[in-house]
Structure 1
Amino acid sequence: MIGSVFIIFFISLALGVPIAISLGFTALSAYFMNPTLPANIEYAYRTMITALDSYSLLAIPLFILSGNIMAQGGISKKLFNFFAYFIGDKTAGMPIAAIVTCLFYGAISGSGPATVAAVGAMTIPLLTELGYDRKFVVSMIAVAGGLGVIIPPSIPFIIYGQSSGASVGNLFLAGVLPGILIALCMIVYAFYFCKTKGEDKEKLKENAEKLRSKGFFGMFRDSFWALLSPVIILGGIYSGIVTPTEAANISVVYAIIVSVFIYKSIKFRELSSVMKDTVATAAPILLVVSIATVFGKVLTLMQAPVMISKAITSTFTTKASVLIAINVILLFVGMVMDTTPAILILTPIFMPIIAAIGVDPIHFGVLMVVNLAIGFVTPPVGINLFVASSLTNLPVMEIAKHAIPFIIAFLVALMAITFIPQISLLLL
């Protein structure tokens, strides 16, 4: 019966049925196949309501709203200019500044696609104008956008915490060093590419002189409030002053103050359209969360997690082989499914497995999110690819092809994160 349920689910996806409807229909099909399961329509409705009645989930629309305000307010440009001020005329300095900007912007938006849109819209035309290969730049930003869901605050970490019961604050802490490691691996390849392909040093020098014409204090003053935003958000969480949800509230207020009153890059009346965009983004996520919770509960009633756990642990007998198998599964799922439903479906299945092999749930949460972040740049789903394509009109598959070296850098970091749990757990 469990096999039949998954067959129904994948057939629904193959037919192009929206993920939320596919999950709901599949969950109810289990009841129709076995009416003894207490998983009828009434049960599904109650579970959906209960799933959304969560304090931690409030952080999702709030962080999305904060990120949207910051994007409209041009915060990414302030961050990029600050980093480019120091290294803009060095080898690979501008691409490295773009990667670091994605790292910092991820600490504001919590979203991969939002990071690609905000940073890419500003950096892709500039780097192309400075002589960098356009396909290289676009693919780099598409992959670096994945840092947006690893560096806290991360929406997938919030969803994983909701599904697994793990502390969202600890997950945020655990994402810091892995995010930095991934960025460093990407920087290494960017440096190698620029060193071997060459750069237009004259244009870079001219651009650096233009940036430095304000002087350090002028640049710092202009970028100060943008740089302070992740410090306020993450500092409040890590110091224990606020919870992640309270930090999300603070981030919205801070975004409004900085964008409307300090930088004056958004007019107050424009906030209504930003809120409308936020609702359009957050509502589908929360709908999937509620229905995927029903799907997960039904799988638990069918004892699917226990059965799958036994099958995997009996096939793969060592901890290393189990972790490799889980990575392969997660990488494949990331290619065909969005992050939110993937986390909600797979977390209940994998929790018994990681408990059996002695993997810390926080470490596993990082492992899962890093794997699924790679899915942002792998077809056919690859949402970061589509965002980058919409910004540049380059074909999705062309971007994906040139993204391969950056994906390999991501995978190198993933292997280190998988087998060196201290990378995730050191700050806890």
Structure 2
Amino acid sequence: MSVIPKIEAFAEDLTAIRQDFHAHPELGFEETRTSGIVAEKLRAYGVDEVHEGIGGTGVVGIIKGSGGGNRRVGLRADMDALPIEEASGVPYASTNPGRMHACGHDGHTTMLLGAARYLAETRDFDGTAVLIFQPAEEGLGGARRMIAEGLFEKFPCDEIYGMHNDPNSEPGIVTVTPGPGMAGACFFDITVKGTGSHAAMPHQSKDPIVIGTALVQQLQSVVSRNTPPTKPIVLSVTTFNAGSAYNVVPGSATITGTVRYFHDDVIEMASERIRELCAGLSQAYGVEIDVDIRNVFDVLMNDPDLSEAYVAAASDVVGQSASLTDDQMTGSEDFADMLKVVPGAYCRVGHAGSIPLHNPAFVLDDAILPVGASVYARIVETRLPVSGG
């Protein structure tokens, strides 16, 4: 592994920044402290332009290279935390109850800051680096809001790159999946409007718990009995809420969940089947069942040529540990929305640790910070080479 020496020299600074972010996590569109520190650091590093308030709490930095080229390469990192109570036991654990960086966005933000510091110091590229610090990646539409507020009109990019830490891999492994790399996602909310009663006289009710549990079971058939096995899909019910007392049959129940997919025809089929199952149970039990299904993530599409370019740049940092892969992830990422507007690619960077993402005990390996920062920096330098370099 050959981390850029200038970045390795300030690796301890990156660790301190990351652990401070980790101790003060903020949810989507609430990242005021985080974005304030990001803007402050960018200015201290000598970044040419720093723009705040893009997409609510987003920040964009502009660094001009030593040449006079017109091409612009975007680098993106996400800043938000998750609504999780931390149980990692690290000394820099979250000080904000019910908030945790359980997905490593504190690391992504820090790695992009590391790249910013290096690129601003060296400027060994011909063109412009556009640094995008995005809010609200965790299902709240931060990328879509930045785009809607004119992100790429104000700060145009010819190509764009993002990354994610990967505790399921090994330290120093960098992979990119050309084409569809991560799943699209829909969230669904279902409300069963039954009739409540005394629990001792349930015959007077239209029990939403009985109806709702039947629905949960039937939803599993969407994958097992309606979807071609050659087209991956995941349907997960993640909450079921009803009732508040031992002796009361409640009047309603709410069910929520998510569907992950790679093919438009599959999500269209799944959405229709969910609605049909709800309509059937509504008629069978004589109740009203409301259904809301909404897209929150598109399928993440990596440009094949830029995927190869990303791996080539990463190879300068991690050698043969950088590679293309056909490993599609059923997780979702709203960087997909940016890739629908600007071609680019998204890589995964492995690190030490055995606890999965979105787990209250997750710990990010700080050794990944100079690696990710170096990969970000090298893609700018290789895609915007100085004339004769």
Fold match by TM threshold 0.5: no
More helix by share: 1
TM-score (norm 2): 0.27
More strand by share: 2
Larger Cα Rg: Structure 1 or Structure 2? 2
